[in-house]
Amino acid sequence: MAMSKMKLLITSILLIAVYTAATTEAAPPRGHHHIGVEEEADRIISLPGQPAVSFQQFSGYVTVNHLAGRALFYWLTESPHLPLSKPLVIWLNGGPGCSSVAYGASEEIGPFRINRTSSGLYLNKFSWNNEANLLFLETPAGVGYSYSNHSSDLFDTGDRRTAKDSLQFIIRWMNRFPRYRNREVYLTGESYAGHYVPQLARAIMHYNARSKQKINLKGFMVGNAVTDNYYDNIGTVTYWWSHAMISDRTYHQLINTCDFRRQKTSNECESLYSYAMDQEFGNIDQYNIYAPPCNKSDGSSGATHKTIRLPHRPHGMFRQLSGYDPCTEKYAEIYYNRPDVQKALHANTTGIPYKWTACSEQLNRNWNDTDVSILPIYRELIAAGLRIWVFSGDVDSVVPVTATRYALEQLKLTTKTPWYPWYVKKQVGGWTEVYEGLTFATVRGAGHEVPLFKPRESLQLFRSFLRGEPLPKS
């Protein structure tokens, strides 16, 4: 009898020990929330060649249109510091047709950089996930790993569908990640995301007006942003001339020949653009006119000039990116086509019939609808009280600072804080002016991808934006 009691006691102790061990092992790390089943399926354990990190990562697909079988790919890198207290920041790259994984995540604001051999990753100490939880979205379907089961979708997409699908993505993603439902949300991006971001912000505002479950959108920030056909193009030609990239003769011919208000350029105007790029620019990287281009082994430039199509001119995708290493885009194309990388990211699960590319030429060539101007959307969103920041790297000749200044001037905003230099580490990081409803800032010496060229300064810019504080005056 005593033996039976002893056996029962030992069994109970063993069961308690097993249960304690199991629950301890399953407990989330400190500062992290309980993870649901759907979230858990998207968890990234580790990427090939990834250094150890203290933050959680998730990636996968959200179907945004079941009928067409359109699914958008995302990659979430949470903050290593108290992620539950941090906002959600959604990053979009432009093109149209370019990947947020290739650019935003891998060479701008994400926590990792790809090494020269594409064999692994190293840490970016100026990653924006120091300040927020970052969600990189590949949109629309056809960009990066995002796909559609209707191949016709790749030939007739545009601004409207991109905004609609991206809104559906956020709604459905938040159902999968309920801990983000009431979190502050900010939208960010660059280049043609100068269309995507304000259009998505407006779509969210309209959705919130008719829905009980609202998205807690607080504001957006865009860099070197395509904004208005007419002013972008006038500003770009002016930049080329003022930075001695083109002759007086070509400048006057462009101004007098091209009707920048038209959606489609005349053959004469296109010939002038081609002449300027091929004969007068020389072998430069248009995305940072003072950086060395990525040269091929035969010494020729990696950049090529394609047919111009406003407002995407010059084509944002047909070049090798420049930066501290001007060939970074090549590393991404090797790394993200690796089967082990795709498996770790839960990507390409349906066997997409084409290689992953940083930008989709097919999408770009067949862009179906584009807003001539985003300025009316700015007026609507300023009136709605969103926090809006626009920034410009000042050595970009593709969507240059002059283009942005000409466009923003049309808003006729009241100046709150006049133009002043802002500082990082006792150096001028750029210049800024604060208006009623919008802050404009330049980043000194930065190209089209501001965080690639000026990571420390761009992190300060992001920090000030999130806090709603003016950039530091000293």
What is the 3-state secondary structure of the chain? CHHHHHHHHHHHHHHHHHHHHHHHHHCCCCCCCCCCHHHHHCECCCCCCCCCCCCCEEEEEEEEECCCCEEEEEEEECCCCCHHHCCEEEEECCCCCECCHHHHHHHHCCCEEECCCCCCEEECCCCHHHCCEEEEEECCCCCCCCEECCHHHHHCCCHHHHHHHHHHHHHHHHHHCHHHCCCCEEEEEECCHHHHHHHHHHHHHHHHHHCCCCCCEEEEEEECCCCEHHHHHHHHHHHHHHCCCCCHHHHHHHHHHCCCCCCCCCHHHHHHHHHHHHHHHCCCCCCCCCCCCCECCCCCECCCCCCCCCCCCCCCCCCCCCCCCCCHHHHHHHHCCCHHHHHHCCCCCCCCCCCCCCECHHHHHCCCCCCCECHHHHHHHHHCCCEEEEEEECCCCCCCHHHHHHHHHCCCCCEEEEEEEEEECCEEEEEEEEECCEEEEEECCCCCCHHHHCHHHHHHHHHHHHHCCCCCCC
Q: Which residue has the tokens 């290593």?
A: 80
CATH fold of the domain at 38-229+370-467: Rossmann fold (3.40.50)
| b/e per residue 345-357 (b: at least 16 CB within 10 A) | bbbbeeebeeebb
C-beta separation of 435 from 428 below 8 A: no
Q: What is the C-alpha separation between 142 and 209, in angstroms, rounded? A: 30
| Tens digit of each residue's pLDDT, the chain (474 residues) | 444 555 554 455 444 443 343 333 333 444 445 667 888 999 999 999 999 999 999 999 999 999 999 999 999 999 999 999 999 999 999 999 999 999 999 999 999 999 999 999 999 999 999 999 999 999 999 999 999 999 899 999 999 999 999 999 999 999 999 999 999 999 999 999 999 999 999 999 999 999 999 999 999 999 999 999 999 999 999 999 999 999 999 999 999 999 988 777 788 999 999 999 999 999 998 999 998 877 654 444 443 332 223 333 333 323 332 233 556 778 999 999 999 999 999 999 999 999 999 999 999 999 999 999 999 999 999 999 999 999 999 999 999 999 999 999 999 999 999 999 999 999 999 999 999 999 999 999 999 999 999 999 999 999 999 999 999 998
Q: What is the C-alpha separation between 283 and 290, in angstroms, rounded? A: 11
Q: What is the pLDDT of residue 22?
A: 37
C-beta separation of 374 from 199 below 8 A: yes
Token pair of 269, please? 């105007």
- Non-local (6+) Cβ contacts of 467 within 8 A are none
Q: Which residue has the tokens 């100068």?
A: 194
| Alpha carbon 225 to its chain's center | 11
Torsion sign, CA atoms 267, 269, 270, 271: positive
Token pair of 427, please? 């150096």
Token pair of 247, please? 């002759």
Q: How far is CA 53 from CA 179, 396, 462, in A?
A: 22, 33, 22
The residues assigned a catalytic role are: 191, 396, 448
Q: Which residue has the tokens 């935003």?
A: 104
Q: What is the C-alpha separation between 382 and 436, in angstroms, rounded? A: 9
Q: What is the pLDDT of residue 296?
A: 55
Q: What single-letter amino acid sits at 378?
A: Y
Q: What is the pLDDT of residue 310?
A: 32
Domain extents in the chain: 38-229+370-467
Kindly give the interhelix angle for 193-210 and 375-383, rounded to the nearest 10 degrees: 40
C-beta separation of 132 from 87 below 8 A: yes
- Non-local (6+) Cβ contacts of 108 within 8 A are 449, 450, 451, 452, 458
C-beta separation of 386 from 217 below 8 A: yes
Q: Which residue has the tokens 């092992």?
A: 25
- Non-local (6+) Cβ contacts of 162 within 8 A are 96, 139, 140, 196, 199, 200
CA terminus-to-terminus distance, the chain: 82
- Nearest Cα neighbor of 463 from 429, 436, 437, 433 is 429
